[in-house]
Amino acid sequence: MRLIASLPWYDLPPAQAGLDAFWCVLRSELEHLSALPLPDALEREMPLIDQWSHAGLLLSQCCGPDLFTPAARYLVPVARPVFADLECAPGHYYSHIVTTSRPLPARPRLVVNSPSSRSGCAALYEWLRRNEIEPGPVTISGAHAQSLQLLRSGAADVAAIDAHSWPLLNQSGMAIIGRSREAPAPPFVMHRHSPVAITDMRRALKVAISEAGALISISAVMHADHRLYQPMPAARPPQLPATGSCATV
Give a yes or no: residue 210 inside a domain.
Answer: yes
- CB distance 112 to 159 below 8 Å: yes
**Bond into 103 cis (ω within 30):** yes
Binned average pLDDT, 10 residues per bin, the chain of 249 residues: 96 97 97 91 97 97 94 97 98 98 93 95 96 96 97 97 97 97 98 96 97 98 94 52 50
Residue of 219, 227, 215, 222 whose CA lies nearest to 17: 215
Here the CATH number for the domain that contains residue 24 is: 3.40.190
Is the residue at 245 inside a domain? no
67 & 106 share domain: no
The pLDDT score that the predictor gives to residue 243 is 40
Let me know if residue 240 belongs to a domain. Answer: no
Residues 20 and 101 in one domain: no
State the pLDDT at residue 83. Answer: 98
Torsion of CA 20, 24, 25, 26, to 10 degrees: 90
What pLDDT, on the 0 to 100 scale, is given for residue 35? 84
pLDDT at 231: 67
d(CA 2, CA 205): 21
Q: Within this chain, do residues 85 and 189 fall inside the same structural domain, yes or no?
A: yes
pTM for the predicted model, two decimal places: 0.92
Domain count, the chain: 2
171 and 147, same domain (yes or no) = yes
Looking at the fold, whether 189 and 212 belong to one and the same domain comes out as: yes
Q: Could you tell me if 14 and 85 lie in one domain?
A: yes
pLDDT tens per residue, range 90-116: 999 999 999 998 899 999 999 999 998
Tell me, rounded to whole angstroms, the distance of Cα 138 from its chain centroid. 20
- Indicate the residue among 162, 182, 202 that finishes a domain: 182
Instruction: Mark residue 91 as left, alpha or beta (left: phi above 0; alpha: psi -120 to 50; beta: remaining).
Output: left
Q: Do 23 and 53 belong together in one domain?
A: yes
Amino acid 102: pLDDT: 85
Statement to judge: residues 96 and 178 lie in one domain:
yes
**Cα 217–chain centre separation:** 14
CATH number for the domain that contains residue 122 = 3.40.190.10
Radius of gyration of the chain (CA): 18
The span from the CA of 195 to the CA of 207, in Å, is: 20
Residue 242 is assigned to a structural domain of this protein: no
Pair 138, 205 in one domain: no
* Containing structural domain, residue 77: 4-89+184-229
- The answer to whether residue 243 is domain-embedded is no
Integer Cα distance of 17 and 215 in angstroms: 9
